[in-house]
Structures are given as structure tokens and as C-alpha cells.
A and B are shown apart, each in its own frame.
Chain A
């Protein structure tokens, strides 16, 4: 049998030293940002029952989940998403909690990705969930947290807004089979104009069809709303568009109108449990979105508690990769002092080192049995001071 004891599974990797510092820095700066806005952390198990992710709406295709069984033979999965477990908590332990609830998290999700594509099966996400408010202010709170998150990375970014309601309303007016509706959704998602036009032509002509044809082209800035306005066939959809326009205008003003807020009415991803506003964040240099979220007013009701919610998650792996590309990896802090114990003085040396640490220094205990090796090690590691403990302590400066 082949032995795999020296490698990690495809889609996973070990992080070393500077890579860990980058990763932890991003996580802690985002979690700090969330806390400073009043969000409280939750940690959910890495293992969950499959049923949590297998609700009626089936957001997660089973072929993309890591599955295992517990000791009673029940089906478990490695957590593929952070929002569903939080929805489960909200519907159970936090059911009687005062609303709105503001929760945040920093933990990995696991999905099986196609092999040999350079994708990760284990992705760390940090994100927020704001539960129990349908106010415009809730949307703006989440958007402004997303903007602060993206701008904290110090790179050129863009935050894109969309609204799944526009597509849902339009396609709902179309007399088409579910299969055709799904095909239309997919073509809009891929901005596949030629095939979308062909497919919609087979339904004849109507304002709804014209609007659906144009939907994937409706992305950019303020001008999108002008174009969309004329295309929307009824008041209901116009109302959704107006709401989005207001949120867009406020978000743009918040960012000083620098064009970093954009809109795309063709954001219609399948696995989304989103019911309204959709947000996506991009950083220059990464080929996929690094931030993704939206409003999911009906998800928690699938766990038996009808309460609206909105949130987003940041893909920390992607941000870390970009930072490692653009900067030199940060060095680990080097020790200030190394303490060497002559034979018989080990305890005294350990105590001396402890005292030095209490003064705020970084102190290593020497793990050699002669002073010469300690000196060489200190030179190599650029440790400025060697303290020798031999009954009466003496310091040696390098």
C-alpha cells in the first residue's frame, strides 16, 4: 500500500513562521474591527450533522462536502460554511436573546474542490452576521463594516452591490420550466450574452425578456440605475431598484465617492441563500472575490425561527496570499537575551530567565552544553546578550 505519511492532502497546506504571522495579523485586525463595532464572537464545531446543511433549499451540493460518520453511524460533515451553523445557534440557544444580535467568527470551512486547479479545500473565513433587523441602517452597517475590512488591507479594492430580488421577480414573471429558469440564471451569472439571447428569444418578446437580456450588462456605477430604471417592467421591481439605489448612494458617499463602490444587477449565484442585497468585495490582483455576503431573511426560518439577517465573510487565505506577494514576509520577533546555565545551575538559570521575561524581554534558555556553542547560536540568531548563570551571574555582550 502506498504511504502518504510525508505529505498533506491536496488542497491543504502547512503554514510556517512569517506566513502564520501574516495570517494571524489579518484575523486579529478584522476581529478587532468587528469587536470595535459591537460584534461578539462565536466558535462552532468543525464537525456538524449533515442535516444542518441539507435543508429543503439544499444550498450545498453533497459532492462538495467532506463527510464522515459518528460512533452511532450518523452522517457528519466538516463545516462547509459559517453562516448555517450560526443560523442554527440563533434558532436554538439564542432564540430568546434580544434582537438585533451582532455575531462574528474566524474559523475555517471545508469543501472538496476540483483537483489540480490550485484551489484550497480548507479556507479560513472571518465574518459577521447581523440578525434581527431589516432596516436600511442594518444594510449600511454591514456595508460599512465590509468597506472598513477591505480598506484595512491597504490595497486597491472595490465593493460591489447587487440585489437578487430583481432577478427573482423578473424570472417569476416568465412562463418557463424550472429547468429553463435555472439555465437563464446560469447564463446571467456567467454573463454569457450570446447564449442568453438565444435562449430568451425562444420565449418571444416582452419587457420582462428585454430586462432579463440586459441584466448581466447592468454593472458599473451610478449610470447603471439610469439604464435599469427604463427596463424594469413594473412598480414592484422599480421599488427594489430604488432601495438598492439609495443604499448605493449612501455607501458611495461614505467612501467619498471615489468609485470603490460599484453595482452589478447580474449577481445571481446559485448556492446563495440570499434574499435581497448581495455584496462582493474584490482586491486588485486576486482573480476571485475576497469578500462575499448578503441578506438572508429566510434562512433562519428553515431552522424554525423566522428572523431576518445579513452578513458577510472575508476569505483570509486569499488576502494573506496577496499580502505575501506584495510584501516581504514579516520576521518573527528575535530574542533579546539567551540564558546559559553551567552544570548544576539549571534551576537558577530558569528562574533568572523568568525574571528577565517579566521585565518584558524575549528570553531563550540555551540548549547547549558549552558556552562556545551558545555564542555561535546567539551570533547566528542575532541575539545581543548572553547571560551565564554559574553560581554568580555574569552577562556577556555579543
Chain B
């Protein structure tokens, strides 16, 4: 038996969805379900080894080739970029990046430079660059919705799922930036050196989406 293929999963909801998918493919994920505090877990009948990591780290591990594959949100891919293959849209973990402002605020009026608060400065920067618009981008770590309410920013670029948080804080989406869902990524060398095994897994996954 070859050494197992290492697959990094984004801890949390994407991890649960991926484990659900693997089980649907008929693989026994008991070890992952009963993981305790372990971070590397076997899925023996798929010859897989699941690694649990934060979203950004999934990309880092796959880029360096210490994990062969990974499951990570498009949001993280857009913000981090990097060199890897983005093979499959897994279809779960769906949400979107959107530009939101205080309700009724006319964002595109006037000639003043607008200030944007966001957890995703690269996503925000490239969105406004494409529009040819100079903006001032401020990185916020916690609840980005606070920034326009405290009048630090004119708008925010953030992940929106239901829009409830926005609504309860008097904000509204004025423009969608990009749709988001979970992606299956692979290291560029692993895909070549372990082509047959990875290809088999991907075909199985695509058939069961």
C-alpha cells in the first residue's frame, strides 16, 4: 500500500460537510468523527489521512506539498491566492462576498475617496481596482459591521450568508462582489506524481456531488 494521500480540511463546517461527502462515497470516517483532540486522522479504506487546519493554513500546507489536497472556501483562496490547482467546486459552504453600507447611503456619490473596512483587504482592493476606483482600505479583525456604524468606514466588503447581521445593524448589501463555495484544491506536484490515486478520488467525488 502506498503512503496515504494527505487531505487538509478547513476545521468547522467545511470539515463536517467534507466528512459527510466522504461517507457518502462509502468511506469509514469513524476516526475523524471521534477525533478528540487529534489533528491528523486516518480514513483507512480510502488510503487518506485527514489533517484538520484553519482555512489559511490549508492553503499553506497544500502549497508546500506537505498535504496533497485540501478543502477550503473560495473566500480564503481569493484573499490568500497562491500556487495550487483548484480542481472542483464542491458546492457546499455557499455564501458570497458583498459590498454593504448603512441603509440608504449613496456609496457611489461624490468625489471623495471612500473608506472600506474589511477582513479581506486583497479581495476588497482587487474589486475596486477593477472598477478603477481609488479607495482607502482598513483591515478589521472582528465584527466588520461596526466600522460604518462607528463612522470609521463608508462601506464594508464581507462574507454575507443570510444578511441577518447586516439587517439588525441597519446595514444593507448594495453590490455582490463574488460568490463563494468550498473548493477541492491540490498541490501541483502531488497531482502529477500521484495522478492515478487523486484522479480516482476526484472522479468519485464529482459523481457524488
Q: Do A and B bind each other?
A: yes
**A: which residues have CB within 8 A of B?**
117-118, 156, 158, 160, 190-195, 219-220, 262, 264, 282, 284-289
Main secondary structure of the interface of A (DSSP, over half): loop
Q: Which of A194, A195, A284, A287 contacts B66 (CB 8 A)?
A: A287
Contact A160 B64 (CB under 8 A): no
Binds A, one of B12-20, B105-113, B186-194: B186-194
Q: A282 and B86: CB pair below 8 A?
A: no
State whether A190 touches B60 (Cβ < 8 A).
no
A118 with B87: CB separation less than 8 A: no
Given contacts A287-B65, A287-B66, A287-B187, contact A192 B195 (CB under 8 A): no
The total of Cβ contacts below 8 Å across the A-B interface reads 52
- Shortest C-beta distance, A113 to chain B (Å), equals 11
Contact B66–A282 (Cβ < 8 Å): no
Residues on A with C-beta less than 8 A from B87 are 191-193
How many Å from the CB of A251 to the closest CB on chain B?
16
Whether B192 contacts A191 by the Cβ 8 Å rule is no
User: Chain B, 66-89, contact with A by CB distance < 8 Å: what is the 0/1 string?
Assistant: 100000000000000001111111
Choose one: A190, A192, A195, A282; the contact of B192 (CB below 8 Å).
A282
Complexed CA–CA distance, A122 and B39 (Å): 34
- Contact B60 A117, beta carbon cutoff 8 Å: yes
- State whether the Cβ of B145 lies closer than 8 Å to any Cβ in chain A: no
Q: Select B83's contact among A193, A285, A288, beta carbons within 8 Å.
A: A288
Residues of chain B at the chain A interface (Cβ within 8 Å): 60, 63-66, 83-89, 186-193, 195
Verify B189–A289 contact, CB threshold 8 A. yes
Residue among B63, B89, B195 making CB contact with A219, cutoff 8 Å: B195
B60 pairs with A194, CB closer than 8 A: no
Measured between beta carbons, the chain A residues less than 8 angstroms from B60 are: 117-118
Q: Which residues of A contact B63 (CB under 8 A)?
A: 117, 287
| A192 and B189 in contact, given A220-B195, A286-B65, A287-B63 (Cβ under 8 angstroms) | no
Instruction: Check B65 against A160 for contact (C-beta < 8 Å).
Output: no
- A160 x B192 contact (CB < 8 A): yes
- Pick the contact of B86: A190, A219, A220, A262 (CB < 8 A): A190
Contact of A193 among B88, B188, B191, B195 (CB under 8 A): B88
- How far is A195 from B60 in the complex, measured between Cα atoms in Å? 22
Residue pairs across A and B with Cβ atoms less than 8 A apart, 30 shown, are A117-B60, A118-B60, A118-B64, A160-B192, A190-B86, A191-B85, A191-B87, A191-B186, A191-B191, A193-B88, A194-B86, A194-B88, A219-B192, A219-B195, A262-B192, A262-B195, A282-B189, A282-B192, A285-B65, A286-B65, A287-B63, A287-B64, A287-B66, A287-B187, A287-B188, A287-B189, A288-B83, A288-B188, A289-B188, A289-B189
